[in-house]
Chains A and B, each alone.
Chain A
Amino acid sequence: MNSSLIHSVASVALLALPLCAQDVLAVKGGKVITMTGAVIDDATVLIENGRILKLGKSADIEVPWTAKVIDATGKTVLPTYVLAHTTGGVRGMNEQMQNVPWISIADALDPANTFFEDCLRNGVGTVHAIPGNQTLLGGSGMVVRPFGRTVEDMAVATSSGLKISLFAQGGGRLQQIRKLHRSLDDVREYLVDFERRKAEFEKEKKAGAIASDKEWTEEYDRQKKPVIDLLQKKIKGWLFVPSAAEVPEAIRLTKELNLVLVLGPNMHKAIDELKALNVPVVLDETIEYFEVDPETQVEQKIATPSLFAAAGIPFALSIGIGGASGYPWWQLATCVRNGVDRQAALKALTTVPAQLLSLDDQLGSLAEGKLGNLQILTGDPLLATTWVETVVLEGMVVYERAKDQRLKYLFAEPKPQGDATTLKEPKDKAEPKDKAEPKDKAEPKDKAEKAPQGGKTGAPAKEGK
């Protein structure tokens, strides 16, 4: 991966959770899938001050008596999943104006949104929230943990880069591309002008036309600054590429900018171009679909992850909001049933997105020194019958299935609301009334008087059919 992508990490502030500060947590006896190392049976993960202190066979690790111990015997332990790109948990993901690089997703995040609750329920521990796709230069994203009452609580990395979109709006595909180039060129021209004025200032200062104690104080235009950072490759751009048709333009842009490609669903036709580019990409949440030939109606099944895996392009998976694609186990199993290697599928929700966020030295895998972000599952992560039992973020237990109120509600035996009939007749009395009804039917006279009246209005329509 391009080493300059790591730049943004310099500005990343990893906030320690105050609650976990002095605690030692031991997750004991589980089958640990580390992602970067081997799978360890009967392993213990020791987390201190939010970081993994020790990880290995339970027999080899001494658990301090002060430690809080979670028994994970018979369970599977996995790093929490990482979402490389999502607009979930956000109120108003698309600013109406298209060219708004100065806005930030931090101001739209809603910590109370059930999306974050769902994240924990599904084992997601790191979320890259970023403005939506209906934009041009759409503003900054941020990396959050799906836990906390405020955006500050949730923050993992405060600026993750700038959203850029090739999604055509109010015009065609070419117009969107033209608008993007125009916007970037505007900022380039501004930069040139800025440097020219600065040079002139220094020149005049040297010539004595400006007092020698005066300094150049002008700063970059606040509204242009994110794009300047992008052009100077100080930050990443997260470029949404809606279809295969925009891929060539996206590839051209990668030559001048530091970009992560966030792909739309129909990418199979651009696989060769993307293979040549050979950088990790973010896949759409729709990863299995049928393409219908408009003439012959012949359908061809397309599974994007298997195409990318076959082409050797690392990919990160997305999670849908609602529907089966909202479950990580479903997305992973969809990869595997289409021929993707199990480990490659798991990487797509752990190490690859961590790498795209330049946080792979912190999270996405379980190893000594990394953040204590893990999930304890009741079984194999790819099975429908598996549930997330516990989620630990930076050494703190942030989710327990046994305490999940919404799950309890959905599994609980509900109390009937009752209706007019049940309120009127207690159950024991309802019985004889039921039995009385057939008698009514045996006396057609009463009903025969009523029925034709009802029947007459309906009759003409029926005969007219």
Chain B
Amino acid sequence: MKLPALTLLLLTTALIAQDQTTVYKGARVWPGGGAPIDNAVLVIAHGKVLQLGGPDTQVPDDAVIIDVSGKSITPGLIDAAWNGLAPSDQNEQGSESTPALHALDSVDARSNGFLKARRMGVTAVHVMPGTMNVIGGLSAVVKTFALDPTAMVVRDEAALRIALGAEPSSGNRAIRGGSVDSIYYRRPTTRMGVIWEVRRGFYDAQDYLTQTIEGGKPQPNRDLDVLGRVLQGKLAIITTARSEQDLRTALRLGREFGYTPVIDEAQEAHFVIDELAAAKVWVMCSAPSADRLAGSAGQDGAEPRFSTLPALAEKGIPFVITTGTNPLALDLVREATFAVRFGIPAEKALDAITSDAATLLGVADRIGKLATGKDADLVIWSAEPFDPASQPLFVIIDGNQAPTSR
């Protein structure tokens, strides 16, 4: 029996639910990592994408058909550097180097941050420890909604974050007569000290690994274990660096210890474009909208420019677009809109917040694209996603309509 097509206006929460085979018909679908399909047929069942095709795609008999003509559908957006959780919970002040910390432990499923993110079409975020520590800890990829909060986790231990520049040493004080062990006298206090903390960590990890290999039973050390996995190429390392100086340092440290970093923030990437290309790194560009003429939002003395993203694209350096640490960042889709304004083709800008972000975070098997077998995470937009007058009408995560208010 074929059910009659429903218009979007008739859509109720109950209709968009996992147990029902649902067909979205007539929209322009941007699949992520490919060209948009006009007048598409998108079939969703049991929280997964069953099929995506042109207007002639066959529709299962028992499906609820929803007419979404004139609308746009994209995969759920992925923010690869998201700072939507309580800042006080992101920076562990106990030590400047905390490799074994799990950012996942700071995730509160009921946080307003998730609500804010998914309301604007973000269905998965990459949660990293904050940038006040040199070696911050392990990140995680989580969805912004699940019926069961534990099911929000897509991937724990996605990467290790380290932060360079002035931020990890900001607020630290030199020891003047106090106890060396006091957390109130945290070191380091300079860039030199920050970089040394990184080096010391990796030197220790090298020793730790050597001991393991050469037989003697090493004292288990979770921190060195994490750093060791980076050195063995088993764990991705994200290095937050903004200014040219810090970007060069990030690449230098990678060369020194034989790993390929993912560069985060990278506001002055345009200064080191050849070096980034040669090092074959991924770049996570934060808040392109902040590249304003007046009142630059550059941190660490970095000077953002409109040419940063186009330069990365031109050199074929893989990049994603994020909201990052900039407190003035707009919603992720709007940040990508600014990328389009500065010359990035719309399709590529969308990839930078969907399929490419999923690839970078190692979760492309589940999310980032609308293709058979992937999670049914999608956004129905009122118009083209990068039209500033458009907004999400429905945000669907694992086939369920995600609530956009408490």
Q: Scan B374-406; emit 1 where CB is below 8 A from any A CB, else 0.
A: 000000001000111111000000000000011
Is A67 an interface position by the 8 A CB rule?
no
- Give the chain A neighbours of B293 by CB distance below 8 A: 114, 118, 121, 406-407, 410
Choose one: A297, A383, A438, A454; the contact of B196 (CB below 8 Å). A454
Choose one: B206, B252, B405; the contact of A441 (CB below 8 Å). B206
Q: Restricting to B180-217, which residues have a CB under 8 Å from any CB of A?
A: 181, 196-197, 199-200, 203-204, 206-207, 210
Q: Restricting to B70-104, which residues have a CB under 8 Å from any CB of A?
A: 94-95, 97-98
**Known contacts A437-B255, A437-B256; is A384 also within 8 Å of B115 by CB?**
no
Residues of A within 8 A of B (CB): 114-115, 118, 121, 296-299, 321-324, 326, 329-330, 333-334, 336-337, 382-385, 406-407, 409-414, 416-417, 419, 421-422, 434, 437-438, 441, 444, 447-448, 450-452, 454-455, 458, 460-462, 464-465
Which stretch from B156-164, B303-311, B316-324 is at the chain A interface?
B303-311
A289 to chain B, nearest CB (A): 12
Bound-complex Cα distance A465 to B252 (A): 30
Bound-complex Cα distance A334 to B255 (A): 46
Bound-complex Cα distance A419 to B294 (A): 27
**Known contacts A324-B289, A451-B206; is A421 also within 8 Å of B252 by CB?**
yes
- Give the chain B neighbours of A322 by CB distance below 8 A: 292, 294-295
Contact B330 A324, beta carbon cutoff 8 Å? yes
**Known contacts A441-B257, A458-B97, A464-B181; is A323 also within 8 Å of B206 by CB?**
no
Report the 8 A-B pairs with minimum CB-CB distance, sorted nearest first.
A333-B388, A451-B203, A322-B295, A336-B389, A333-B389, A454-B200, A410-B306, A337-B389
Choose one: A121, A326, A337; the contact of B388 (CB below 8 Å). A337
- Give the chain B neighbours of A121 by CB distance below 8 A: 293
Bound-complex Cα distance A444 to B244 (A): 31
Residues of B within 8 A of A (CB): 94-95, 97-98, 112, 115, 181, 196-197, 199-200, 203-204, 206-207, 210, 223, 244-245, 248, 252, 255-258, 270-272, 289, 291-295, 305-307, 310-311, 328, 330, 334, 337-338, 340-342, 382, 386-391, 405-406
Contact A444 B200, beta carbon cutoff 8 Å? no
B252 to chain A, nearest CB (A): 7
Bound-complex Cα distance A297 to B338 (A): 31
Contact A462 B97, beta carbon cutoff 8 Å? yes
- Give the chain B neighbours of A441 by CB distance below 8 A: 206, 257-258
B346 to chain A, nearest CB (A): 9
The closest CB in chain B to the CB of A409 belongs to B305
Contact B206 A444, beta carbon cutoff 8 Å? yes
- Give the chain A neighbours of B270 by CB distance below 8 A: 413-414
Bound-complex Cα distance A464 to B97 (A): 13
- Give the chain B neighbours of A410 by CB distance below 8 A: 291, 293, 305-307
Contact B248 A421, beta carbon cutoff 8 Å? yes
Contact A323 B292, beta carbon cutoff 8 Å? yes
Bound-complex Cα distance A454 to B337 (A): 46
A322 to chain B, nearest CB (A): 4
- Give the chain A neighbours of B294 by CB distance below 8 A: 114-115, 118, 321-322, 326
The closest CB in chain B to the CB of A88 belongs to B294
- 28 A-B pairs (CB sep. < 8 Å): A118-B293, A297-B112, A322-B292, A323-B289, A324-B334, A333-B387, A333-B389, A337-B382, A337-B391, A384-B338, A384-B387, A385-B341, A407-B293, A410-B306, A412-B307, A416-B244, A438-B258, A444-B206, A448-B207, A450-B203, A451-B200, A451-B206, A454-B199, A454-B200, A454-B203, A458-B200, A465-B94, A465-B95
**Known contacts A322-B292, A437-B255, A460-B181; is A444 also within 8 Å of B388 by CB?**
no
Choose one: A297, A384, A413, A450; the contact of B341 (CB below 8 Å). A384
A337 to chain B, nearest CB (A): 4
- Give the chain B neighbours of A382 by CB distance below 8 A: 388-389
